[in-house]
Amino acid sequence: MKDNKVAQALKTWTSRLRTKKEERNAVCHVPEETRSDALISVRNLYKKFGKLEVLNGINLDINKGDVVAIIGPSGCGKSTFLRCLNGLETPSAGEIILENEYVFKNERVYLKRKMRAMKEESKKTGKPLPMDEFNAVNEEYLALRKEEKAIAKYMETAINLHRQKVGMVFQQFNLFPHLTVLQNITLAPMKLKKVGEEEAKAKAMELLKKVGLAEKANVYPSTLSGGQKQRIAIVRALAMEPEVLLFDEPTSALDPEMVGEVLKVMTELAQEGMTMIVVTHEMGFAKEVATRVIFMSDGVIKEENAPQEFFTNPKDERLKEFLSKVL
């Protein structure tokens, strides 16, 4: 009887998962003619907090296996960009595409602005509104709104599926203090991916051994050093087997002597082919490990290049000024 209930529950869960996948395919697939080989594509991404514009038109492709280091002055939008990729912040406009599926899309805002500008121009000049052009823009706007609202509605229910693919490691670790290290690592795989307890524990122990912390499996986070906590946070993200890992200044909260042990783990991940986007102040890591380095300032990408060219021959004047202060 118990086996039948388990089998029925598994069948129901599988059916729901299949339905969810079919819904995603119908709503979120990028049209064939605009698909690319990029793992993540970001197009004209904007983010405003009230009147404050934090991201002002980010365009970026991330390919599988890329290690992209993002550097720049405080407040330039680096962390906000990562939070948009992970779904912790909702952008104001633009597109985020993961494996040729829309995660976020809002381009109707541009059409709305165009219609508003047409009205203002008509009012200012006293000329009649060009109704044929206005109606054509409005028709396009209404069609786009329907499509984009469907994507947003789907992502409201599928955000956890997205975060399984796009893991994030935070500056302040964000471990649950009331759970042991092992429980912190196994919680998400068991709850979100329905992994069995024994399998989740085995995977967690394998990852803990990899970062040299197997002996800490049954202790609580309060007993760990900052470097150990951050390594555990990395393991927790890896336990979900993500397609890409986002690191938001993972060493900035650590004592100098603990920075090396975290960077060592990150370097090993890069060598194993993990796709990584790293907001960092560690210029050595950016030089030696990254495949590309990006400089952000004022909410835009000012320069992007391979590490050697980026650091030895910068083109942007603001980047030159920044490097003169940090190197």
Pairing of strands 101-106, 93-98: antiparallel
HSE toward the beta carbon, residue 290, CA cutoff 13 A: 29
Task: State in Å, rounded, how far the first CA of the chain is from the last one.
Answer: 68
Neighbours of 8 (CB within 10 A): 10
CB 170 within 8 A of CB 248: yes
pLDDT at 37 (0 to 100): 92
The residue count of the chain comes to 327
Alpha helices (H) along 126-195: 131-165, 181-192
Structure tokens given for 106: 């809002």
Q: What is the dihedral of CA 116, 118, 124, 125, to 10 degrees?
A: -170
Closest CA to 106 of 151, 62, 39, 159: 151
Beta-carbon neighbour count of residue 321 at 10 Å? 12
Instruction: Give the pLDDT confidence score for residue 32 in this predicted structure.
Output: 83
The residue behind tokens 């789907």 is 154
What pLDDT score does 6 carry? 58
Within 10 angstroms of residue 279's Cβ, the number of other Cβ atoms is 22
What SS3 state is found at 266?
A: helix
User: Residue 88, SS3?
Assistant: coil
> In 163-259, where do the E strands start and end?
166-169, 244-248
Q: Which phi and psi (to 5°) does residue 302 adopt?
A: -85, -35
What's the pLDDT at 27?
Answer: 75
Q: How far apart are CA 181 and CA 6, in angstroms?
A: 29
DSSP secondary structure of 24-43: HHHHHBPPGGG--S-SEEEE
Q: Are 40 and 82 in contact (CB under 8 A)?
A: no
Model pTM? 0.87
Amino acid letter, 57 = G
Phi and psi of 257, rounded to 5°? -70, -15
- pLDDT at residue 198 in the model: 96
Tokens of 289: 């490990």
Residue 26 has what pLDDT?
A: 61
Round to whole Å and give the CA distance between 82 and 85: 5
Region of 180 (left: φ > 0; alpha: ψ -120 to 50; beta: rest) is beta
Give the pLDDT score at 160.
85
Helix (H, G, I), strand (E, B) or coil at 305: strand
Q: Along the 327 residues of the chain, how does pLDDT read in single tens digits?
A: 556 665 666 556 555 545 555 555 567 888 888 889 999 999 999 999 999 999 999 999 999 999 999 999 999 999 999 999 999 999 999 999 999 999 999 999 999 999 999 999 999 999 999 999 999 999 999 999 999 999 999 898 888 888 899 999 998 899 999 999 999 999 999 998 999 999 999 999 999 999 999 999 999 999 999 999 999 999 999 999 999 999 999 999 888 888 999 999 999 999 999 999 999 999 999 999 999 999 999 999 999 999 999 999 999 999 999 999 988
